[in-house]
Structure 1
Amino acid sequence: MEDKITGIHHITAIAGNAKRNYDFYTQVLGLRFVKKTVNFDDPHTYHFYYGDEVGTPGSILTFFPWEDIMTGRRGTHMATEIGYSIPEGSIDFWIKRFEERNILYNKPSQKFGDLYLTFLDPDGLKLELTVTEKPDNRQPWETSAVTAANATRGFHHVTLTLEDVQPTADLLVSLFGFNLLKHSANRYRFESPAGENGTFIDLVEAKGEPRGHVAGGTIHHVAFRVKDDETQLRFREKIERMGLNPTPQLDRKYFKSIYFREPGGVLFELATDGPGFTVDEPKALLGSQLMLPPEFEARREEILGQLPKLD
């Protein structure tokens, strides 16, 4: 069977204040806090995971919150927008919610025939809520304030802004097996061969625009789904043959990862679907405790003492 990239696995961004980030994504957007852990390379920094009930691939938004980080800048050579899928008829709910909380948003508009609402999180990260052309039947995480009638279903798309879209487009098609679905002006929408929700990648060509700067309020990397370790390693061989210098396969506890920079400069990751977030916490308790990689467990008290409080 042919190896496939089956869509977006997760998107990782950078935040400033940890509690502000936690409050916004759990209380305002109504996402589930599925994992509280630390940056594997910097254990005195949190790594937050938000998603649906179990953190299904395609719903996972993660953050490194660095308290004193400078504000980044959207531009070329980076991922610039995160699109979530929402149900038909829910735009007015979100506008009212944003107005009540003084959240910056733009009036609804259309993109490729879909109605969408753009807004910024407290760090300036650009997000969109898209009413999908066909119903998105993924099961949402519900809260008392954000019920299934309005809740996000997971990712709809992610946008990459590039000086020249062609080299990235060639990689999406030749390596990932994506197809060019739609094109309007300088925006090109590609779809995973899986053809499910959360499988769209938009490329925006912005020749002559300044290069972006990855810091607070920007996207760090985009991770794509692969079925298992073996599929991932076969993709790694292909990436290496293309001269894109992938990392070795890395164990991130909840999935295996490899990283590389695509030709347009955006950091890509391939992440396995398993083993998932219940590997160290039961489903009912996901996100309730600080979960550390085994190599940091002996330093738990020291690490806890330096991490910001969330309550």
Structure 2
Amino acid sequence: MQLKPLKGQHHVSAITADAKRNYEFYTKTLGMRLVKKSINQDDTSVYHLFYADERGNPGTDLTFFELPYAGNTYPGTNSISTTSLRVPTDDSLDYWTKRFEEYQVDHDAISGHTGRKTLAFRDFEGQRLMLVSDENNEGVSGGVPWEKSTVPTEHAVYGLGPVMLTVAKAETSAQVLTQLLGYREVRSYRSLVEGQPDVRVFETGEGGTGAEVHLEERSDLPVERPGRGSVHHVAFRVENEEELRGWVSHLKQLRIPSSGFVERYYFKSLYFREANGILYELATDGPGFEEDEPFETLGERLALPPYFEEKREEIEAKLKPLDTKE
């Protein structure tokens, strides 16, 4: 079958050591909605929390695995080094600057160095984040802000923006993006680190902030040692299961090691790791997060895919209680 271009970001999954503080920061401070409180399906003793727009539309999810004993992150190469979040306008960045000062969130000044207005900041564990203005954006559409958010709709986070990959050898990752995944290299901008190459920008599908990967080569850094505040993997969107199975076959034909087809219930997935150590996931747009919870109460109870339901009592006994009811 002829594979269609990837549609852009699906989700980014990161690591936290404190689910309670993580929930408070991403819902109360950032105003995102917790659309699913579930478990890491590969380790059911820890939470997997999904923050997104009003219903977890594809391209809006920032997710966290809780690893209570995770140590500090030591930043470096082989990493997904910045996750950006889309906001509607340049004025939104002024709103967020004031909000970050009010909430004592570590942040930088508003910048235009990437070609768009951005505001870099860190959460309480040093997670490297950036707000990106969609004021002049054309391309894949964002999600729908939740009307009960703590942030006004006109300034709300409503999707994932570009992800930054920091690697030792950019050309290796560039070939994966263009020759395997079908991305287009569209522009570049100057690195903030003197003596380092320009950051290269790749896009897929309709392009725009929700479909870009920024590739940074750094010769001055060691390999990242991940921990709390680091990113585990980035996922890109495919239309449906048929398309995903096409990718499974494609990677198999190319003899690229992968997970093969993986059932995640809320979506279907495929994972593979490239030579620079970046873990990629391809994930389907559906079925979505309303398979087992109504829209009105998303994220309020521990949601378990059906194949874990018979172990609910055992799973809940291992988890520290986390109250997520509004």
User: Which bracket does the TM-score occupy, shorter chain normalised?
Assistant: over 0.9
Q: Name the stretch that deviates more: 285-294 or 14-23.
A: 285-294
**Correspondent of 1:152 among 152, 157, 164:** 157
1:1-311 matches, cutoff 5 A: 2-88=3-89, 89-132=91-134, 133-134=136-137, 138-143=143-148, 145-185=150-190, 186-311=198-323
| 1:87 CA displacement | 1.9
Change (3 A) 1:241 1:73: farther
Mapped partners of 2:150, 2:95: distance in 1: 11
Task: Verify the 8 A CA contact 2:60 2:143 in the aligned structure 1.
Answer: no
Task: Verify the 8 A CA contact 1:244 1:262 in the aligned structure 2.
Answer: no
Mapped partners of 2:297, 2:232: distance in 1: 28
Q: Name the stretch that deviates more: 234-243 or 202-211.
A: 234-243
| 1:134 CA displacement | 2.5
| Cα deviation digits, residues 69-128 of structure 1 (max 9, x gap) | 111222101101001111221112111111112111111111232111111011110000
| Cα deviation digits, residues 165-215 of structure 1 (max 9, x gap) | 112111211222211111123201111123254101000011242100222
The amino acid that maps onto 2:223 is R
| 1:230 CA displacement | 1.6
| 1:138 CA displacement | 3.9
Task: Verify the 8 A CA contact 2:116 2:133 in the aligned structure 1.
Answer: yes
Q: Name the stretch that deviates more: 33-42 or 174-183.
A: 174-183
Could you list the runs of 5+ residues in structure 2 that have no partner in the other structure? Answer: 191-197
Could you list the runs of 5+ residues in structure 1 that have no partner in the other structure? Answer: none
Mapped partners of 1:59, 1:235: distance in 2: 22
Mapped partners of 1:300, 1:34: distance in 2: 19
Task: Verify the 8 A CA contact 1:112 1:182 in the aligned structure 2.
Answer: no
Mapped partners of 1:137, 1:203: distance in 2: 22
Q: How many residues are matched?
A: 311
Task: Verify the 8 A CA contact 1:18 1:308 in the aligned structure 2.
Answer: no
Mapped partners of 1:165, 1:19: distance in 2: 37
Task: Verify the 8 A CA contact 1:25 1:50 in the aligned structure 2.
Answer: yes
Change (3 A) 1:266 1:144: closer
Q: Name the stretch that deviates more: 122-131 or 295-304.
A: 295-304
| Cα deviation digits, residues 43-92 of structure 1 (max 9, x gap) | 11001011011101110111001222111222101101001111221112
| 1:4 CA displacement | 1.6
The amino acid that maps onto 2:172 is P
Mapped partners of 1:79, 1:53: distance in 2: 26
Change (3 A) 1:213 1:137: closer
Change (3 A) 1:52 1:155: same
Mapped partners of 2:157, 2:113: distance in 1: 18
Task: Verify the 8 A CA contact 2:272 2:279 in the aligned structure 1.
Answer: yes
C-alpha RMSD over aligned residues: 1.6
| 1:6 CA displacement | 0.6
Identity rate, percent: 39
The amino acid that maps onto 1:108 is I
Q: Per the alignment, in what secondary structure is the counterpart of residue 24 of structure 1?
A: helix
Task: Verify the 8 A CA contact 1:80 1:160 in the aligned structure 2.
Answer: yes
